[in-house]
Amino acid sequence: MNYCLLIDCDNFFASCEAIFHPEYKNKPLVVASGKNGIVIARSKEAKALGIPMAAASFKYKSLFIKEDVITCKTNFSLYRDISLRIRETVATFGFPTFVYSVDEMFLQIPKEQLTEKLLNDIQKKIKRWTGIDTSLGVSTTKTLAKVATKLAKKIHTRRKILIDETEINQTLKTFPVEDIWGIGRNTHKKLITYKVRSAKDLLNKNPEFLKKLLGIHGLRTCSELSGKNAYPFFQTNVDKSLQVTKTFLTEIIKISSINEIIASFITEGCEKLRRINRKAAEFTIFLQSSRFKNNRQYFTKTYTLDEPSNYTPDFLMLKEKALSQLKDGDISIKRAGIGFSFLTDSHSTQKNLFHPSNEKNPQLMEILDHINDKFGDKTLRFASSSKSFVKRPSSSAKYTTCWDDILEIQI
């Protein structure tokens, strides 16, 4: 029998920013999603100042100034790379591992091998090899391991083994239902009307009621809370869809501008597809007006391709088709994006019998990717895509993934 260990990186994005800036240590720091974006990560000190998650940063500007809060713009290539290093570090312990997100992973630990010392060793090694602090929670199911991790974050060791049945029971009595993994805002609202406030209250409801109110999710959550695994340890790790979306600083009404922007998204998305050796059979373009205003407008077009593709011009053509239906001012666009779905392996794609593909030159894309890899993004680009459609506030350097950004130190 195995236990389930969840490793959760503390304040992950904020901690990543601090790795290469010792002067950021023990200072309030937030990572925001753009110039006026929302706060998506906070250091311990920033949390203590009462800055909530997902706060619109412009609303907290004066607090940021008053308290000397360091604000960083997201630097995902850095976070991804640090995440990869953490995985490599954890792999040295040799337990089956399922990576759940950029800052969380589950490990299967055989019952007889679980000790406080093991957990301590894992934490220490990750800290030493990557500079990141972690919280560890152990229990019998993933959902309970999540509960344990929540508890761990309140303990100074940041470790919690929650396997004793009586203790689990006691814990669930006071564990807020909205903190359970899988219970979101909407479900919480529903549950409150039935006076379900703690995890235990949820467990006490009968299955038929739960199925009706929350669907299959509710049943699974309950089963996990009672110690029965409802999710396989290894879940699919293959991407099923891929998106590129952006929210703009100001609204866009000119179709020619949106044309360029979507073309850039397509270029970026197709590069991603080729990097992960995937082709898409379905393609979506969407444009949206601001979600904070009345009269929300949407424009969505989905195309099914005759044959899966990751050849940029295929999608640029579909974009022409979609956007030709619009004229300036039809919609004031605050957010736009594209999505690829029904991804298949690019080496074994199904050909279409009735629409034989015109011979595309995959080498062309290979060369393009190669040149851009070597000489930097957008060295070579399609004329229809804009070179840079937003002035990006600068992120921290790509310390670990870009030769030009490698840190120089004097000793």
Sites of contact with DNA (CB under 7 A) = 33-34, 36-38, 40, 54, 56, 58, 100-104, 146, 180-188, 215-217, 235-236, 239-247, 249-250, 272, 290, 292, 300, 302, 334-335, 337, 339
* Eight-state DSSP code of residue 355: S
Which residue's CB is nearer to DNA, number 113 or number 350? 350
* Eight-state DSSP code of residue 154: T
CB of 151 to DNA, least distance (A): 14
Nearest partner of 349 among 320, 390, 308, judged by Cα: 308
| Rounded Cα–Cα distance for residues 262 and 10 (Å) | 36
β-strand partners of 304 = 282
CB of 110 to DNA, least distance (A): 25
CB of 216 to DNA, least distance (A): 4
CB of 185 to DNA, least distance (A): 5
CB of 363 to DNA, least distance (A): 25
**Contact status, residue 137 vs residue 105, Cβ threshold 8 Å:** no
Work out the end-to-end distance of the chain between its first and last CA atoms, rounded to an integer number of angstroms: 51
Output the six-digit token pair for 373.
Answer: 């890899």
Which residue's CB is nearer to DNA, number 290 or number 395? 290
CB of 109 to DNA, least distance (A): 20
Which residue's CB is nearer to DNA, number 36 or number 108? 36
Which residue's CB is nearer to DNA, number 31 or number 109? 31
Which residue's CB is nearer to DNA, number 38 or number 118? 38
β-strand partners of 358 = none
Which residue's CB is nearer to DNA, number 53 or number 406? 53
| Rounded Cα–Cα distance for residues 265 and 386 (Å) | 10
Which residue's CB is nearer to DNA, number 89 or number 332? 332
Which residue's CB is nearer to DNA, number 290 or number 344? 290
Which residues in 102-174 belong to E strands, given as ranges?
104-110, 134-139, 159-161
Which residue's CB is nearer to DNA, number 118 or number 306? 306
CB of 117 to DNA, least distance (A): 27
* Eight-state DSSP code of residue 227: T
CA-to-CA dists, residue 328 to 247, 254, 316, angstroms = 19, 5, 20
Which residue's CB is nearer to DNA, number 211 or number 381? 211
Radius of gyration of the chain (CA): 24
List CB contacts of 1: < 8 A, sequence separation 6 or more.
110, 111
CB of 176 to DNA, least distance (A): 12
For tokens 């039935």, the residue is 194
CB of 35 to DNA, least distance (A): 8
Q: Please tell me whether residue 293 adopts helix, strand or coil conformation.
A: coil
CB of 361 to DNA, least distance (A): 26
List CB contacts of 9: < 8 A, sequence separation 6 or more.
15, 83, 86, 103, 104, 132, 133, 134
| Rounded Cα–Cα distance for residues 145 and 235 (Å) | 16
Output the six-digit token pair for 129.
Answer: 């090899």
Handedness of CA 79, 82, 86, 91 (dihedral sign): positive
